[in-house]
């Protein structure tokens, strides 16, 4: 049983109440807590030593990543972060100086994104460190973007470059809060998700939620230099394109817009964010399933992104 099969088994019938607008199944839970004109966003995420970061990773970067993962989810909803609780689980013995450096990195990122760190929990965890962050944020009701809004004919866009994140970027990525806020302020964003498990995996979540399909254009997918260098160094069967589709931990935004605004959006983006790439990589289709168009034609995309508990 993989991660998504387990979630599907556990989530039906979970307790709810009148405040819940969107429960499990999107980047954040969406709650109506009576804030005038706004929804509350609620998100939790965890990083585990040996899974999300190596034991010798710089602690400051681990702290950054622990918070930035949740910030990326807030961005995917079009929201702004507000406050966080941190659960820290440590093996015995542990190095207090390492933990202090981790918190320095976490705190620096919190300050940059105006997030208050308001408490949490410390506990013991055998063998390895675990850091879990629960985030609260807000979003204007009319600017809240879900995974489920994609429509047939929509243009499919992605920010930045994809693949090769394990070369270092997975510890240093910048959550696209400002970019998402700009997008929702100026354009009708139909659906959005952040890329944590790979384009091939996360796009499947979006089209599943929207009950549509998608066609990717292979030549338009922005493959990172790190993915290209990695493919050359390893001389493996994993091509740069496959890395861009499956590596994960890119933490870029994947979103859909009506085709009529695709060109104006792209032109406005280049003026607003000249240092960050934006690529139209395909379209949403009425036909279910995920397909890839390349020089040989259109075929089903069988590659998947990263999935916890999946057989290697």
Strand order of the β-sheet with 289-294 is: 191-194, 253-257, 155-159, 278-285, 213-217, 289-294, 297-300
- Tell which of 125, 143, 161 closes a domain: 143
Per the domain annotation, does 84 fall within a domain?
Answer: yes
Average pLDDT over all residues of the chain = 95
Q: How far apart are CA 72 and CA 66, in angstroms?
A: 11
CATH of the domain at 118: 3.30.1330.10
One domain, residues 155 and 130? no
- Residue 239, token pair as written in the block: 């091509």
Per the domain annotation, does 179 fall within a domain?
Answer: yes
- Give the per-residue pLDDT at 277: 98
Which residue in 84, 89, 69 sits closest to 114, CA to CA? Answer: 84
- Tell which of 110, 143, 176 closes a domain: 143
> CB within 8 A of 267, min separation 6: which ones?
none
Per the domain annotation, does 311 fall within a domain?
Answer: no
Give the angle 198-41-211 at the CA atoms, nearest 5°.
50
- Give the per-residue pLDDT at 7: 82
One domain, residues 28 and 128? yes
Per the domain annotation, does 308 fall within a domain?
Answer: no
One domain, residues 253 and 230? yes
107 to 84, 100, 169: CA distances (angstroms): 11, 10, 19
Most distant CA atoms of the chain, gap in Å: 59
One domain, residues 155 and 267? yes
Residue with tokens 């969107």: 22
One domain, residues 174 and 119? no
- Tell which of 89, 111, 143 closes a domain: 143
Per the domain annotation, does 309 fall within a domain?
Answer: no
Question: What's the pTM value of the predicted model, to 2 decimals?
Answer: 0.94
One domain, residues 134 and 63? yes
Residue with tokens 């689980």: 89
One domain, residues 92 and 136? yes
- Give the per-residue pLDDT at 312: 53
One domain, residues 81 and 137? yes
- Residue 244, token pair as written in the block: 């861009």
Residues facing residue 298 across a β-bridge: 293
One domain, residues 165 and 296? yes
Per the domain annotation, does 198 fall within a domain?
Answer: yes
- Give the per-residue pLDDT at 186: 98
Per the domain annotation, does 243 fall within a domain?
Answer: yes
Q: Is 164 left (phi over 0), alpha (psi -120 to 50) or beta?
A: left
CATH of the domain at 179: 3.90.650.10
> CB within 8 A of 13, min separation 6: which ones?
none
- Give the per-residue pLDDT at 304: 86
Per the domain annotation, does 109 fall within a domain?
Answer: yes
One domain, residues 135 and 254? no
Domain span holding position 97:
3-143
Give, for all 312 residues of the chain, the pLDDT tens digit.
888 788 888 888 899 999 999 998 899 999 999 999 999 999 999 999 999 999 999 999 999 999 999 999 999 999 999 999 999 999 999 999 999 999 999 999 999 999 999 999 999 999 899 999 999 999 999 999 999 999 999 999 999 999 999 899 999 999 999 999 999 999 999 999 999 999 999 999 999 999 999 999 999 999 999 999 887 776 566 899 999 999 999 999 999 999 999 999 999 999 999 999 999 999 999 999 999 999 999 999 998 877 666 665
One domain, residues 226 and 281? yes
Is residue 81 a contact partner of residue 147, using CB atoms and an 8 Å limit?
A: no
One domain, residues 131 and 214? no
How many domains, the chain? 2
- Give the per-residue pLDDT at 2: 81
- Give the per-residue pLDDT at 133: 98
């Amino acid at each position: 049983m993989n991660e998504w099969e387990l979630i599907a088994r556990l989530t039906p019938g979970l307790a709810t109440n009148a405040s819940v607008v969107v429960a499990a199944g999107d980047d954040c839970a969406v709650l109506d807590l009576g804030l005038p004109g706004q929804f509350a966003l609620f998100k939790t995420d965890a990083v585990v030593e040996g899974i999300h970061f190596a034991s010798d990773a710089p602690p400051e970067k681990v702290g950054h990543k622990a918070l930035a993962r949740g910030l990326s989810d807030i961005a995917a909803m079009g929201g702004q972060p507000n406050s966080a609780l941190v659960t820290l689980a440590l093996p015995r013995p542990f190095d207090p100086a390492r933990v202090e450096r981790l918190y320095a990195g976490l705190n620096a990122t919190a300050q940059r994104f105006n997030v208050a760190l308001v408490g949490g929990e410390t506990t013991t965890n055998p063998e390895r460190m675990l850091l879990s962050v629960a985030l609260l944020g807000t979003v204007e009701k009319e600017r809240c973007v879900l995974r489920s809004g994609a429509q047939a004919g929509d243009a499919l866009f992605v920010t930045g470059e994809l693949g090769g994140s394990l070369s270092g970027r997975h510890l240093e990525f910048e959550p696209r809060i400002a970019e998402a806020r700009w997008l929702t302020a100026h354009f009708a964003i139909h659906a959005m998700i952040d890329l944590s498990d790979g384009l091939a995996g996360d796009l499947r979540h979006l089209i599943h939620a929207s009950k549509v399909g998608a066609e990717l254009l292979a030549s338009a997918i922005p493959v990172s230099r790190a993915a290209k260098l990695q493919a050359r160094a390893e001389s493996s069967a994993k091509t740069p394109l496959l890395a861009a589709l499956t590596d994960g931990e890119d933490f870029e935004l994947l979103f859909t817009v009506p085709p009529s605004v695709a060109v104006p959006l792209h032109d406005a983006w280049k003026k607003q964010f000249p240092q960050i790439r934006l690529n139209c990589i395909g379209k949403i289709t009425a036909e279910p399933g995920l397909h890839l168009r390349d020089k040989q034609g259109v075929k089903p995309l069988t590659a998947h992104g990263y999935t916890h508990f999946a057989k290697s």
